[in-house]
Structure 1
Protein backbone atom coordinates (compact mmCIF):
# COMPACT_ATOMS: atom_id res chain seq x y z
CA UNK A 1 0.00 0.00 0.00
CA UNK A 2 2.80 2.45 0.90
CA UNK A 3 4.49 1.74 -2.43
CA UNK A 4 1.30 2.57 -4.32
CA UNK A 5 0.88 5.80 -2.34
CA UNK A 6 4.48 6.76 -3.10
CA UNK A 7 3.98 6.02 -6.81
CA UNK A 8 0.79 8.09 -6.96
CA UNK A 9 2.53 10.95 -5.15
CA UNK A 10 5.30 10.85 -7.76
CA UNK A 11 2.71 11.08 -10.55
CA UNK A 12 1.05 14.05 -8.82
CA UNK A 13 4.36 15.90 -8.46
CA UNK A 14 5.22 15.28 -12.10
CA UNK A 15 1.83 16.57 -13.28
CA UNK A 16 1.89 19.72 -11.17
CA UNK A 17 5.47 20.48 -12.15
CA UNK A 18 4.49 20.25 -15.81
CA UNK A 19 1.73 22.83 -15.26
CA UNK A 20 4.09 25.17 -13.45
CA UNK A 21 5.94 25.64 -16.72
CA UNK A 22 2.69 26.75 -18.36
CA UNK A 23 2.39 29.72 -16.06
CA UNK A 24 5.71 31.20 -17.16
CA UNK A 25 5.60 34.31 -19.35
CA UNK A 26 6.57 33.21 -22.85
CA UNK A 27 7.02 36.74 -24.24
CA UNK A 28 9.83 35.65 -26.58
CA UNK A 29 8.52 33.92 -29.71
CA UNK A 30 10.90 31.60 -31.56
CA UNK A 31 8.56 31.78 -34.58
CA UNK A 32 8.74 35.41 -35.64
CA UNK A 33 5.63 37.53 -35.15
CA UNK A 34 3.51 34.69 -33.86
CA UNK A 35 2.40 34.92 -30.24
CA UNK A 36 2.49 32.16 -27.65
CA UNK A 37 -0.98 30.62 -27.35
CA UNK A 38 -0.74 27.86 -24.79
CA UNK A 39 0.70 24.68 -23.39
CA UNK A 40 -0.73 21.18 -23.02
CA UNK A 41 0.55 17.91 -21.57
CA UNK A 42 -0.48 14.37 -20.71
CA UNK A 43 1.13 11.76 -18.46
CA UNK A 44 0.35 8.11 -19.24
CA UNK A 45 1.24 5.08 -17.14
CA UNK A 46 -0.12 1.55 -16.90
CA UNK A 47 0.18 1.71 -13.10
CA UNK A 48 -2.70 4.21 -13.26
CA UNK A 49 -4.72 1.65 -15.21
CA UNK A 50 -4.33 -2.05 -14.49
CA UNK A 51 -1.60 -1.52 -11.88
CA UNK A 52 1.17 -3.36 -13.72
CA UNK A 53 4.45 -2.16 -15.24
CA UNK A 54 4.68 -3.72 -18.69
CA UNK A 55 4.51 -3.22 -22.45
CA UNK A 56 3.37 0.41 -22.98
CA UNK A 57 4.71 1.23 -19.55
CA UNK A 58 4.74 5.03 -19.43
CA UNK A 59 4.94 8.20 -21.49
CA UNK A 60 4.81 11.96 -21.19
CA UNK A 61 4.01 14.39 -23.99
CA UNK A 62 3.75 18.16 -24.19
CA UNK A 63 2.60 20.64 -26.82
CA UNK A 64 3.29 24.37 -27.09
CA UNK A 65 1.47 26.53 -29.65
CA UNK A 66 2.37 29.76 -31.47
CA UNK A 67 0.09 31.58 -33.90
CA UNK A 68 -1.33 34.89 -35.11
CA UNK A 69 -3.86 35.07 -32.28
CA UNK A 70 -6.70 32.65 -31.49
CA UNK A 71 -10.40 33.24 -32.23
CA UNK A 72 -11.63 29.73 -31.42
CA UNK A 73 -11.11 28.22 -34.87
CA UNK A 74 -8.12 26.74 -36.66
CA UNK A 75 -6.58 28.97 -39.35
CA UNK A 76 -7.20 28.33 -43.05
CA UNK A 77 -3.53 28.11 -44.00
CA UNK A 78 -1.00 25.44 -43.08
CA UNK A 79 1.92 26.88 -41.14
CA UNK A 80 0.05 29.79 -39.53
CA UNK A 81 -0.38 27.76 -36.33
CA UNK A 82 2.77 25.98 -35.16
CA UNK A 83 2.92 23.29 -32.49
CA UNK A 84 6.14 22.18 -30.83
CA UNK A 85 5.74 18.62 -29.54
CA UNK A 86 8.19 17.10 -27.04
CA UNK A 87 7.85 13.78 -25.26
CA UNK A 88 9.22 10.43 -24.28
CA UNK A 89 8.12 6.86 -23.73
CA UNK A 90 9.25 3.68 -21.99
CA UNK A 91 8.20 0.30 -23.37
CA UNK A 92 9.03 -2.80 -21.36
CA UNK A 93 8.50 -6.57 -21.19
CA UNK A 94 6.03 -8.07 -18.73
CA UNK A 95 8.94 -9.46 -16.69
CA UNK A 96 11.59 -6.93 -15.68
CA UNK A 97 13.79 -9.35 -13.70
CA UNK A 98 14.86 -11.73 -16.48
CA UNK A 99 14.84 -11.91 -20.26
CA UNK A 100 11.99 -13.93 -21.77
CA UNK A 101 12.41 -14.59 -25.51
CA UNK A 102 9.74 -12.96 -27.72
CA UNK A 103 8.35 -10.86 -24.89
CA UNK A 104 8.49 -7.19 -25.80
CA UNK A 105 12.08 -5.84 -25.66
CA UNK A 106 12.76 -2.89 -23.39
CA UNK A 107 12.88 0.39 -25.33
CA UNK A 108 13.31 4.06 -24.47
CA UNK A 109 12.36 6.88 -26.83
CA UNK A 110 12.60 10.68 -26.72
CA UNK A 111 11.02 12.87 -29.38
CA UNK A 112 10.80 16.51 -30.47
CA UNK A 113 9.10 17.88 -33.54
CA UNK A 114 7.21 20.68 -35.26
CA UNK A 115 3.59 20.33 -36.40
CA UNK A 116 0.83 22.52 -37.78
CA UNK A 117 -2.96 22.45 -37.57
CA UNK A 118 -5.44 24.09 -39.95
CA UNK A 119 -8.93 23.58 -41.39
CA UNK A 120 -10.61 23.78 -44.77
CA UNK A 121 -14.39 23.84 -45.16
CA UNK A 122 -14.89 22.38 -41.68
CA UNK A 123 -12.39 19.55 -42.08
CA UNK A 124 -9.43 19.72 -39.71
CA UNK A 125 -5.87 18.74 -40.60
CA UNK A 126 -2.77 18.21 -38.47
CA UNK A 127 0.60 17.10 -39.75
CA UNK A 128 4.29 17.45 -39.01
CA UNK A 129 7.56 15.70 -38.33
CA UNK A 130 9.57 14.58 -35.31
CA UNK A 131 13.14 13.62 -34.57
CA UNK A 132 13.39 10.51 -32.39
CA UNK A 133 16.25 9.44 -30.14
CA UNK A 134 15.98 5.74 -29.29
CA UNK A 135 17.94 3.35 -27.11
CA UNK A 136 20.14 3.58 -24.00
CA UNK A 137 21.45 6.98 -25.20
CA UNK A 138 18.15 8.46 -23.95
CA UNK A 139 19.03 7.65 -20.33
CA UNK A 140 15.46 6.45 -19.73
CA UNK A 141 16.69 3.06 -18.52
CA UNK A 142 18.55 4.77 -15.68
CA UNK A 143 15.53 6.99 -15.00
CA UNK A 144 13.19 4.01 -14.66
CA UNK A 145 15.64 2.25 -12.36
CA UNK A 146 15.94 5.35 -10.18
CA UNK A 147 12.16 5.82 -9.95
CA UNK A 148 11.64 2.16 -9.07
CA UNK A 149 14.32 2.41 -6.39
CA UNK A 150 12.51 5.38 -4.82
CA UNK A 151 9.13 3.63 -4.67
CA UNK A 152 10.62 0.24 -3.75
CA UNK A 153 9.71 -1.68 -6.92
CA UNK A 154 12.12 -3.85 -8.86
CA UNK A 155 13.42 -2.08 -11.97
CA UNK A 156 14.68 -3.56 -15.25
CA UNK A 157 17.55 -5.98 -14.72
CA UNK A 158 20.86 -5.87 -16.59
CA UNK A 159 19.77 -9.00 -18.46
CA UNK A 160 16.59 -7.30 -19.69
CA UNK A 161 18.44 -4.12 -20.66
CA UNK A 162 21.05 -6.16 -22.55
CA UNK A 163 18.29 -7.04 -25.05
CA UNK A 164 16.80 -3.56 -25.35
CA UNK A 165 16.32 -1.75 -28.68
CA UNK A 166 19.77 -0.31 -29.53
CA UNK A 167 20.77 3.31 -30.10
CA UNK A 168 19.42 4.92 -33.25
CA UNK A 169 17.95 8.14 -34.59
CA UNK A 170 14.77 8.25 -36.66
CA UNK A 171 12.55 10.76 -38.41
CA UNK A 172 8.80 10.37 -38.02
CA UNK A 173 5.92 11.83 -40.03
CA UNK A 174 2.43 12.15 -38.52
CA UNK A 175 -0.70 13.25 -40.37
CA UNK A 176 -4.33 13.35 -39.22
CA UNK A 177 -7.59 14.63 -40.62
CA UNK A 178 -10.95 14.79 -38.85
CA UNK A 179 -14.27 16.57 -38.78
CA UNK A 180 -16.60 17.55 -35.94
CA UNK A 181 -20.33 16.79 -36.11
CA UNK A 182 -22.78 18.36 -33.66
CA UNK A 183 -25.14 15.73 -32.23
CA UNK A 184 -27.34 18.19 -30.37
CA UNK A 185 -27.13 19.62 -26.88
CA UNK A 186 -23.50 19.46 -25.82
CA UNK A 187 -22.72 16.20 -27.64
CA UNK A 188 -20.42 15.95 -30.64
CA UNK A 189 -18.73 13.27 -32.73
CA UNK A 190 -15.38 13.50 -34.50
CA UNK A 191 -14.32 10.71 -36.87
CA UNK A 192 -10.67 10.82 -37.92
CA UNK A 193 -8.01 9.03 -39.93
CA UNK A 194 -4.29 9.07 -39.19
CA UNK A 195 -1.06 7.94 -40.82
CA UNK A 196 2.33 7.56 -39.16
CA UNK A 197 5.67 6.69 -40.76
CA UNK A 198 9.10 6.36 -39.18
CA UNK A 199 9.44 4.35 -36.00
CA UNK A 200 6.09 2.66 -36.62
CA UNK A 201 4.43 2.60 -40.05
CA UNK A 202 0.66 2.50 -39.70
CA UNK A 203 -2.71 3.81 -40.81
CA UNK A 204 -5.51 4.30 -38.29
CA UNK A 205 -9.21 5.17 -38.33
CA UNK A 206 -11.38 6.02 -35.35
CA UNK A 207 -13.95 8.25 -33.74
CA UNK A 208 -14.17 10.41 -30.60
CA UNK A 209 -17.40 11.39 -28.82
CA UNK A 210 -17.59 14.36 -26.45
CA UNK A 211 -20.40 15.13 -24.01
CA UNK A 212 -19.72 18.62 -22.69
CA UNK A 213 -17.76 21.72 -23.73
CA UNK A 214 -14.32 20.15 -24.09
CA UNK A 215 -12.71 20.96 -27.44
CA UNK A 216 -15.18 23.66 -28.47
CA UNK A 217 -13.10 26.61 -29.60
CA UNK A 218 -10.02 25.12 -27.92
CA UNK A 219 -6.60 24.09 -29.08
CA UNK A 220 -6.21 20.34 -28.67
CA UNK A 221 -3.55 17.71 -29.43
CA UNK A 222 -3.71 13.91 -29.60
CA UNK A 223 -1.58 11.67 -27.39
CA UNK A 224 0.21 9.04 -29.47
CA UNK A 225 -0.10 6.17 -26.96
CA UNK A 226 -3.74 6.38 -25.85
CA UNK A 227 -5.37 8.52 -28.51
CA UNK A 228 -6.77 10.87 -25.86
CA UNK A 229 -7.01 14.49 -26.95
CA UNK A 230 -5.75 17.09 -24.46
CA UNK A 231 -6.33 20.85 -24.35
CA UNK A 232 -3.49 23.30 -24.76
CA UNK A 233 -4.32 26.52 -22.99
CA UNK A 234 -6.18 28.76 -25.41
CA UNK A 235 -9.83 29.56 -24.59
CA UNK A 236 -10.54 26.74 -22.13
CA UNK A 237 -14.24 26.01 -21.68
CA UNK A 238 -15.33 25.59 -18.04
CA UNK A 239 -17.34 22.65 -16.76
CA UNK A 240 -17.37 18.85 -16.79
CA UNK A 241 -16.94 16.88 -20.01
CA UNK A 242 -17.05 13.15 -20.66
CA UNK A 243 -15.12 11.77 -23.62
CA UNK A 244 -15.10 8.32 -25.16
CA UNK A 245 -13.44 7.03 -28.31
CA UNK A 246 -12.09 4.05 -30.19
CA UNK A 247 -9.85 3.37 -33.15
CA UNK A 248 -8.24 0.54 -35.07
CA UNK A 249 -4.89 0.54 -36.86
CA UNK A 250 -3.07 -1.55 -39.40
CA UNK A 251 0.63 -1.59 -38.43
CA UNK A 252 3.02 -2.54 -41.21
CA UNK A 253 6.26 -2.40 -39.22
CA UNK A 254 7.65 -1.30 -35.85
CA UNK A 255 11.26 -0.79 -34.84
CA UNK A 256 10.19 -1.58 -31.26
CA UNK A 257 9.11 -5.08 -32.35
CA UNK A 258 11.78 -5.96 -34.93
CA UNK A 259 10.96 -8.68 -37.42
CA UNK A 260 14.58 -9.90 -37.49
CA UNK A 261 14.23 -10.88 -33.81
CA UNK A 262 11.23 -13.06 -34.59
CA UNK A 263 8.40 -10.69 -33.61
CA UNK A 264 5.16 -10.92 -35.54
CA UNK A 265 2.76 -7.99 -35.39
CA UNK A 266 -0.93 -8.56 -34.78
CA UNK A 267 -3.17 -8.02 -37.81
CA UNK A 268 -4.75 -4.95 -36.20
CA UNK A 269 -4.10 -2.76 -33.18
CA UNK A 270 -7.15 -1.59 -31.20
CA UNK A 271 -7.70 1.19 -28.65
CA UNK A 272 -10.81 2.01 -26.61
CA UNK A 273 -10.74 5.01 -24.27
CA UNK A 274 -12.86 7.09 -21.92
CA UNK A 275 -12.12 10.02 -19.66
CA UNK A 276 -13.38 13.00 -17.66
CA UNK A 277 -12.28 16.64 -18.02
CA UNK A 278 -13.03 19.17 -15.30
CA UNK A 279 -12.22 22.80 -16.03
CA UNK A 280 -12.65 25.31 -13.23
CA UNK A 281 -11.62 28.93 -12.88
CA UNK A 282 -8.07 28.21 -11.75
CA UNK A 283 -7.65 24.49 -12.23
CA UNK A 284 -8.10 21.69 -14.73
CA UNK A 285 -8.19 17.97 -14.04
CA UNK A 286 -8.29 15.09 -16.49
CA UNK A 287 -8.24 11.36 -15.88
CA UNK A 288 -8.74 8.77 -18.57
CA UNK A 289 -8.50 5.03 -19.11
CA UNK A 290 -7.52 3.32 -22.35
CA UNK A 291 -7.62 -0.32 -23.31
CA UNK A 292 -4.73 -1.13 -25.63
CA UNK A 293 -5.15 -4.33 -27.60
CA UNK A 294 -2.37 -6.82 -28.29
CA UNK A 295 0.45 -5.53 -30.50
CA UNK A 296 2.42 -8.73 -31.17
CA UNK A 297 1.60 -12.44 -31.31
CA UNK A 298 3.27 -13.39 -28.03
CA UNK A 299 1.46 -10.67 -26.07
CA UNK A 300 -1.03 -12.83 -24.20
CA UNK A 301 -3.56 -10.06 -23.43
CA UNK A 302 -4.25 -6.39 -23.83
CA UNK A 303 -3.54 -3.79 -21.15
CA UNK A 304 -5.30 -0.92 -19.41
CA UNK A 305 -3.35 2.32 -19.05
CA UNK A 306 -4.30 5.50 -17.21
CA UNK A 307 -3.74 9.10 -18.29
CA UNK A 308 -3.72 12.13 -16.00
CA UNK A 309 -3.27 15.88 -16.14
CA UNK A 310 -3.60 18.34 -13.28
CA UNK A 311 -3.36 22.11 -13.81
CA UNK A 312 -3.22 24.47 -10.85
CA UNK A 313 -2.82 28.19 -11.45
CA UNK A 314 -1.48 30.18 -8.56
Structure 2
Protein backbone atom coordinates (compact mmCIF):
# COMPACT_ATOMS: atom_id res chain seq x y z
CA UNK A 1 0.00 0.00 0.00
CA UNK A 2 2.81 2.45 0.85
CA UNK A 3 4.19 2.06 -2.71
CA UNK A 4 0.95 3.37 -4.16
CA UNK A 5 0.81 6.22 -1.63
CA UNK A 6 4.35 7.35 -2.51
CA UNK A 7 3.61 7.16 -6.25
CA UNK A 8 0.42 9.17 -5.83
CA UNK A 9 2.20 11.77 -3.70
CA UNK A 10 5.02 12.26 -6.21
CA UNK A 11 2.55 12.53 -9.09
CA UNK A 12 0.38 15.06 -7.27
CA UNK A 13 3.37 17.17 -6.23
CA UNK A 14 4.64 17.30 -9.80
CA UNK A 15 1.30 18.37 -11.26
CA UNK A 16 1.60 22.10 -11.97
CA UNK A 17 0.76 24.47 -14.73
CA UNK A 18 3.53 25.55 -17.15
CA UNK A 19 3.50 28.96 -15.49
CA UNK A 20 4.07 27.37 -12.06
CA UNK A 21 6.99 25.36 -13.44
CA UNK A 22 8.59 28.46 -14.94
CA UNK A 23 8.16 30.45 -11.74
CA UNK A 24 9.53 27.77 -9.43
CA UNK A 25 13.11 28.50 -8.36
CA UNK A 26 15.53 27.26 -5.75
CA UNK A 27 14.75 28.95 -2.45
CA UNK A 28 17.11 27.30 -0.03
CA UNK A 29 19.29 24.45 1.15
CA UNK A 30 19.75 22.92 4.59
CA UNK A 31 21.59 20.00 6.17
CA UNK A 32 22.37 18.43 9.51
CA UNK A 33 25.09 15.98 10.57
CA UNK A 34 24.41 13.77 13.59
CA UNK A 35 26.89 11.52 15.36
CA UNK A 36 27.30 10.12 18.84
CA UNK A 37 30.93 11.31 18.71
CA UNK A 38 29.50 14.83 19.20
CA UNK A 39 27.38 13.57 22.09
CA UNK A 40 28.31 10.83 24.57
CA UNK A 41 31.38 9.82 22.56
CA UNK A 42 30.28 6.22 22.09
CA UNK A 43 30.07 4.35 18.79
CA UNK A 44 26.78 2.47 19.07
CA UNK A 45 23.09 2.20 18.19
CA UNK A 46 22.03 5.41 16.33
CA UNK A 47 25.70 6.12 15.75
CA UNK A 48 25.71 8.49 12.75
CA UNK A 49 23.48 10.18 10.21
CA UNK A 50 23.17 12.95 7.66
CA UNK A 51 20.10 14.66 6.24
CA UNK A 52 19.92 17.43 3.64
CA UNK A 53 17.13 19.37 1.91
CA UNK A 54 16.93 21.38 -1.31
CA UNK A 55 13.80 23.49 -1.63
CA UNK A 56 12.11 24.94 -4.73
CA UNK A 57 9.03 27.14 -5.04
CA UNK A 58 7.65 30.31 -6.63
CA UNK A 59 8.50 32.50 -3.62
CA UNK A 60 8.84 32.58 0.16
CA UNK A 61 6.96 35.17 2.21
CA UNK A 62 7.77 34.05 5.75
CA UNK A 63 5.47 31.02 5.75
CA UNK A 64 4.59 28.07 3.53
CA UNK A 65 2.05 28.64 0.73
CA UNK A 66 -1.50 27.27 0.88
CA UNK A 67 -1.13 25.09 -2.21
CA UNK A 68 -0.13 21.45 -1.95
CA UNK A 69 2.91 20.89 -4.17
CA UNK A 70 3.82 24.55 -4.66
CA UNK A 71 6.81 24.28 -2.34
CA UNK A 72 8.86 21.15 -3.03
CA UNK A 73 11.71 19.68 -1.00
CA UNK A 74 14.16 17.07 -2.27
CA UNK A 75 15.34 15.23 0.84
CA UNK A 76 18.44 13.04 1.00
CA UNK A 77 19.53 11.02 4.00
CA UNK A 78 22.05 8.48 5.26
CA UNK A 79 22.27 6.65 8.56
CA UNK A 80 24.37 3.95 10.19
CA UNK A 81 23.01 1.92 13.10
CA UNK A 82 25.18 -0.50 15.04
CA UNK A 83 25.25 -2.76 18.10
CA UNK A 84 26.84 -1.54 21.32
CA UNK A 85 29.97 -3.59 20.64
CA UNK A 86 30.84 -3.48 16.93
CA UNK A 87 33.41 -6.26 17.32
CA UNK A 88 31.49 -8.87 19.38
CA UNK A 89 27.86 -7.87 19.96
CA UNK A 90 25.93 -9.27 22.90
CA UNK A 91 23.02 -11.60 22.12
CA UNK A 92 19.82 -9.61 21.60
CA UNK A 93 21.60 -6.40 20.56
CA UNK A 94 20.41 -4.66 17.41
CA UNK A 95 22.02 -5.74 14.13
CA UNK A 96 24.20 -3.45 12.07
CA UNK A 97 22.29 -1.49 9.42
CA UNK A 98 23.05 1.05 6.73
CA UNK A 99 20.27 3.17 5.23
CA UNK A 100 20.22 5.63 2.33
CA UNK A 101 17.08 7.57 1.45
CA UNK A 102 15.79 9.92 -1.22
CA UNK A 103 12.41 11.59 -1.06
CA UNK A 104 10.10 14.32 -2.27
CA UNK A 105 8.17 16.40 0.26
CA UNK A 106 5.88 19.40 0.12
CA UNK A 107 5.21 22.06 2.75
CA UNK A 108 2.01 24.07 2.94
CA UNK A 109 -0.17 25.90 5.45
CA UNK A 110 -3.94 25.99 5.95
CA UNK A 111 -5.03 28.54 8.52
CA UNK A 112 -2.77 28.16 11.55
CA UNK A 113 -1.84 24.56 10.73
CA UNK A 114 1.48 23.85 9.03
CA UNK A 115 1.80 20.64 7.02
CA UNK A 116 4.76 18.63 5.76
CA UNK A 117 3.81 15.66 3.58
CA UNK A 118 6.12 13.45 1.60
CA UNK A 119 7.48 10.10 0.59
CA UNK A 120 10.94 8.54 0.67
CA UNK A 121 12.57 5.47 -0.80
CA UNK A 122 14.81 3.95 1.89
CA UNK A 123 17.57 1.62 0.67
CA UNK A 124 18.93 -0.84 3.23
CA UNK A 125 21.79 -3.28 3.43
CA UNK A 126 25.22 -3.83 1.86
CA UNK A 127 23.98 -2.22 -1.38
CA UNK A 128 24.35 1.17 0.34
CA UNK A 129 28.11 0.57 0.88
CA UNK A 130 27.81 2.41 4.20
CA UNK A 131 29.50 -0.47 6.03
CA UNK A 132 32.47 -0.12 3.69
CA UNK A 133 32.50 3.64 4.25
CA UNK A 134 32.53 3.26 8.04
CA UNK A 135 35.18 0.55 7.90
CA UNK A 136 37.48 2.72 5.76
CA UNK A 137 36.83 5.83 7.87
CA UNK A 138 37.60 4.02 11.14
CA UNK A 139 40.69 2.45 9.62
CA UNK A 140 42.00 5.86 8.49
CA UNK A 141 41.59 7.41 11.94
CA UNK A 142 42.62 4.33 13.91
CA UNK A 143 39.15 3.79 15.41
CA UNK A 144 37.77 0.34 16.25
CA UNK A 145 36.33 -1.12 13.04
CA UNK A 146 33.19 -3.24 12.76
CA UNK A 147 34.11 -6.91 12.62
CA UNK A 148 33.52 -9.01 9.52
CA UNK A 149 30.90 -10.98 11.48
CA UNK A 150 28.99 -7.80 12.34
CA UNK A 151 29.07 -6.60 8.74
CA UNK A 152 28.05 -9.98 7.31
CA UNK A 153 25.04 -10.20 9.65
CA UNK A 154 23.79 -6.68 8.93
CA UNK A 155 20.22 -5.96 7.79
CA UNK A 156 19.91 -7.30 4.24
CA UNK A 157 19.26 -5.46 1.01
CA UNK A 158 15.79 -3.98 0.72
CA UNK A 159 13.96 -0.94 -0.61
CA UNK A 160 11.24 0.42 1.67
CA UNK A 161 8.83 3.10 0.42
CA UNK A 162 8.04 5.36 3.39
CA UNK A 163 5.38 8.04 3.89
CA UNK A 164 5.91 10.88 6.39
CA UNK A 165 3.24 13.37 7.46
CA UNK A 166 3.65 16.13 10.04
CA UNK A 167 1.28 18.86 11.18
CA UNK A 168 1.92 21.57 13.73
CA UNK A 169 0.85 25.00 14.92
CA UNK A 170 3.10 27.84 16.06
CA UNK A 171 2.11 30.10 18.95
CA UNK A 172 3.96 33.25 20.00
CA UNK A 173 4.53 33.51 23.75
CA UNK A 174 6.38 36.82 23.31
CA UNK A 175 8.17 38.75 20.55
CA UNK A 176 11.09 36.33 20.68
CA UNK A 177 9.62 33.11 22.10
CA UNK A 178 7.46 30.62 20.21
CA UNK A 179 6.08 27.18 21.02
CA UNK A 180 5.07 24.66 18.38
CA UNK A 181 3.21 21.44 19.25
CA UNK A 182 3.21 18.86 16.46
CA UNK A 183 2.00 15.42 15.41
CA UNK A 184 3.89 13.12 13.05
CA UNK A 185 3.02 9.87 11.36
CA UNK A 186 5.49 7.61 9.58
CA UNK A 187 4.73 4.39 7.71
CA UNK A 188 7.20 2.18 5.86
CA UNK A 189 10.78 1.73 6.99
CA UNK A 190 9.60 2.50 10.49
CA UNK A 191 5.91 2.74 11.34
CA UNK A 192 5.02 5.01 14.25
CA UNK A 193 2.93 7.93 15.45
CA UNK A 194 4.67 10.73 17.34
CA UNK A 195 3.51 13.72 19.39
CA UNK A 196 5.82 16.46 20.65
CA UNK A 197 6.61 20.11 21.11
CA UNK A 198 9.38 22.53 20.06
CA UNK A 199 10.22 25.71 21.98
CA UNK A 200 12.38 28.49 20.49
CA UNK A 201 13.89 31.41 22.43
CA UNK A 202 15.11 34.08 20.02
CA UNK A 203 14.13 35.59 16.68
CA UNK A 204 16.56 33.56 14.57
CA UNK A 205 14.57 30.87 12.77
CA UNK A 206 11.24 32.70 12.82
CA UNK A 207 9.76 33.22 9.37
CA UNK A 208 12.07 30.54 7.95
CA UNK A 209 11.42 27.02 6.67
CA UNK A 210 12.68 24.52 9.21
CA UNK A 211 12.96 20.82 8.31
CA UNK A 212 12.79 18.08 10.95
CA UNK A 213 15.68 15.63 11.16
CA UNK A 214 14.33 12.09 11.32
CA UNK A 215 16.81 10.80 13.91
CA UNK A 216 16.92 13.57 16.52
CA UNK A 217 13.81 15.64 15.83
CA UNK A 218 15.91 18.83 15.62
CA UNK A 219 14.69 21.26 12.94
CA UNK A 220 17.34 22.72 10.67
CA UNK A 221 17.12 25.86 8.53
CA UNK A 222 16.36 25.29 4.83
CA UNK A 223 15.03 28.73 3.81
CA UNK A 224 16.89 31.38 5.79
CA UNK A 225 16.18 35.02 6.58
CA UNK A 226 18.52 37.94 7.18
CA UNK A 227 18.43 37.70 10.97
CA UNK A 228 21.64 37.75 12.97
CA UNK A 229 22.05 36.70 16.56
CA UNK A 230 21.24 33.59 18.57
CA UNK A 231 18.27 31.34 19.24
CA UNK A 232 18.01 28.53 21.76
CA UNK A 233 15.78 25.56 21.05
CA UNK A 234 14.26 22.90 23.27
CA UNK A 235 12.11 19.98 22.22
CA UNK A 236 10.67 16.66 23.31
CA UNK A 237 8.44 14.00 21.81
CA UNK A 238 7.17 10.50 22.37
CA UNK A 239 6.27 7.91 19.75
CA UNK A 240 4.06 4.84 19.72
CA UNK A 241 5.97 2.32 17.58
CA UNK A 242 4.26 -0.34 15.49
CA UNK A 243 7.14 -1.72 13.42
CA UNK A 244 10.78 -1.12 12.46
CA UNK A 245 12.83 -2.74 9.70
CA UNK A 246 15.90 -1.94 11.83
CA UNK A 247 14.68 -4.22 14.65
CA UNK A 248 13.76 -7.60 13.11
CA UNK A 249 11.75 -9.77 15.47
CA UNK A 250 12.88 -12.91 13.62
CA UNK A 251 16.38 -12.24 14.95
CA UNK A 252 15.13 -12.01 18.51
CA UNK A 253 15.24 -8.18 18.65
CA UNK A 254 12.05 -6.90 20.28
CA UNK A 255 11.18 -3.25 19.64
CA UNK A 256 9.93 -1.15 22.51
CA UNK A 257 6.32 0.00 22.15
CA UNK A 258 7.27 3.61 22.87
CA UNK A 259 10.25 5.79 22.05
CA UNK A 260 11.25 9.11 23.67
CA UNK A 261 13.49 11.98 22.55
CA UNK A 262 14.58 15.12 24.44
CA UNK A 263 16.71 17.75 22.70
CA UNK A 264 18.33 21.15 23.14
CA UNK A 265 20.42 23.29 20.83
CA UNK A 266 21.68 26.70 19.81
CA UNK A 267 21.67 28.31 16.37
CA UNK A 268 23.54 31.47 15.49
CA UNK A 269 24.22 33.74 12.53
CA UNK A 270 26.60 36.67 12.18
CA UNK A 271 26.09 39.80 10.10
CA UNK A 272 28.83 38.47 7.81
CA UNK A 273 26.65 35.46 6.95
CA UNK A 274 28.47 32.85 9.04
CA UNK A 275 25.96 30.59 10.71
CA UNK A 276 25.91 27.39 12.66
CA UNK A 277 24.00 25.01 14.88
CA UNK A 278 24.92 22.62 17.67
CA UNK A 279 22.43 20.42 19.46
CA UNK A 280 22.27 17.45 21.80
CA UNK A 281 19.54 14.83 21.83
CA UNK A 282 18.75 12.12 24.34
CA UNK A 283 17.34 9.07 22.57
CA UNK A 284 15.50 6.64 24.80
CA UNK A 285 15.71 2.86 24.55
CA UNK A 286 14.39 1.49 21.24
CA UNK A 287 14.50 -2.26 21.91
CA UNK A 288 14.29 -4.55 24.93
CA UNK A 289 17.97 -5.53 24.88
CA UNK A 290 19.14 -1.90 24.97
CA UNK A 291 20.65 -1.27 28.39
CA UNK A 292 20.21 2.52 28.41
CA UNK A 293 19.50 5.54 26.25
CA UNK A 294 22.15 7.47 24.37
CA UNK A 295 23.12 11.07 23.67
CA UNK A 296 23.95 12.14 20.12
CA UNK A 297 25.17 15.51 18.89
CA UNK A 298 24.12 17.40 15.75
CA UNK A 299 26.11 20.09 13.95
CA UNK A 300 25.82 22.42 11.00
CA UNK A 301 28.20 25.17 9.89
CA UNK A 302 27.80 27.53 6.93
CA UNK A 303 29.95 30.33 5.50
CA UNK A 304 28.37 32.59 2.88
CA UNK A 305 30.69 33.62 0.03
Is 1:78 paired with 2:43? no
Give the whole-Å Cα distance in 1 for the aligned partners of 2:67 and 2:228.
29
Is 1:293 paired with 2:284? yes
The equivalent residue for 2:45 is 55
The equivalent residue for 1:68 is 58
CA drift at 1:100: 2.6
Structure 1 ranges of 4+ moved more than 3 A: none
Give the whole-Å Cα distance in 2 for the aligned partners of 1:50 and 1:140.
22
Is 1:255 paired with 2:245? yes
**1:36 aligns with one of 20, 26, 37:** 26
Is 1:170 paired with 2:135? no
**1:127 aligns with one of 117, 126, 141:** 117
Structure-1-length-normalised TM-score: 0.89
Give the whole-Å Cα distance in 2 for the aligned partners of 1:79 and 1:236.
26
Q: What are the ranges of 5 or more consecutive residues in structure 2 without an aligned counterpart? A: 1-20
Give the whole-Å Cα distance in 1 for the aligned partners of 2:295 and 2:223.
28
Alignment of 1:1-314 (within 5 A): 32-281=22-271, 282-314=273-305
Give the whole-Å Cα distance in 1 for the aligned partners of 2:226 and 2:285.
35
SS in 1 for 2:195: strand
Structure-2-length-normalised TM-score: 0.91
Give the whole-Å Cα distance in 2 for the aligned partners of 1:271 and 1:177.
18
Contact 1:218-1:237 within 8 A present in 2 as well: no
SS in 1 for 2:144: coil
SS in 1 for 2:23: coil
Contact 2:205-2:231 within 8 A present in 1 as well: no
Q: What are the ranges of 5 or more consecutive residues in structure 1 without an aligned counterpart? A: 1-30
Question: How large is the RMSD of aligned CA atoms in angstroms?
Answer: 1.2
**Higher mean C-alpha deviation, range 48-57 or range 149-158:** 149-158
Count of aligned residue pairs for this structure pair: 285
Give the whole-Å Cα distance in 2 for the aligned partners of 1:225 and 1:158.
26
